Amino acid sequence: MIKRTLYFGNPAYLKTSNEQLVITMQDSGEIKTTPIEDIGLLILDHQQITITQALMAKLLSNNVALVTCDNTHHPVGMMLNLEGNTLQSQKFQYQIEASVPLKKQLWQQTVEAKLENQATLLQLERADHKYIQTLSKNVKSGDSDNCEATAAAYYWKNVFPDFLEFKRERFGLPPNNLLNYGYAIVRAIVARSLVGSGLLPTLGIFHKNQYNAYCLADDIMEPYRPFVDKTVCDIIRGNGKFLDMTPSMKKALLGVPAMDVEIDGQKSPLMNAVQRTTASLVKCFEGKSRKILYPKLKM
């Protein structure tokens, strides 16, 4: 079953009772409930939301990723369960002891999968995709030729319409805002699933920034980014240059976890696909497999 993504963008009081999330809307006084076990991601996006400590504890014990946003509505923080797996210590050890050649092979597979999905999205957007498609077939162990960066330079010049004059910058002009929001959602889903699989999100296979608590999440989410990019392409088609975040745009991006993807020849919601990806990564660290499962963006 796919876990639910809950978003709160208005003043509310959130508490728990009988394993339920109890929501009281401050403006109307309306009260709603939902089972905590059904939730995978909960996003708090208003400065007048109150949440009880008891609810936070129950959410985290059920491996819910709890994301909070700042006054510009951008996700700035995330809370995760500290004990997401019964064999966590053992899996940590496998992860810590992973050899450099294995991590290089895993990064090679990750870059290949990302570039294949980027090429497919370019094809869907009727842009020339053959350059990135060729790069995807020539990624070496550890991506020693930096095919990912080479592809990115071409990809961002071609994936969006010319009238946007787009430059990918974290704090750049729209649709950077939409990309950032979508990526934050995917990052939270991946981090949650890594914890659920018994892995440390901090220890990356490629990313190693000492100030980044989610290096492994940033590694594993790379092939999932084009699914956010596709959603942003759809938003641009309906809005042109008018890309300041609206409730309808936010709704579209919040739907990314439920997007249908193909992974290992099977159709699956993106959130469930992430769980298969992180479970396959554990098998790689344990020496039971040499292949990490990633989704494919389909035509």
Closest residue by Cα to residue 270 from 231, 234, 213: 231
- 46 annotated as ligand-binding: no
- 207 annotated as ligand-binding: yes
Residue type, 97: E
For residue 228, give both structure tokens: 């956010």
**C-alpha distances in Å from residue 146, one per residue of 107, 119, 141, 204:** 11, 17, 10, 17
- Cβ contacts of 123 within 8 Å, gap of 6 or more: 129, 299
For residue 85, count other CB atoms closer than 10 A to its CB: 18
For residue 95, give both structure tokens: 């992860």
The Cα 117–Cα 250 span in angstroms is 23
218, 204 Cβ separation under 8 angstroms:
yes
254, 5 Cβ separation under 8 angstroms:
yes
Beta pairing class for 39-44 and 65-69 = parallel
- 37 annotated as ligand-binding: no
Binding residues for Mn(2+): 148, 207, 222
Binding residues: 148, 207, 222
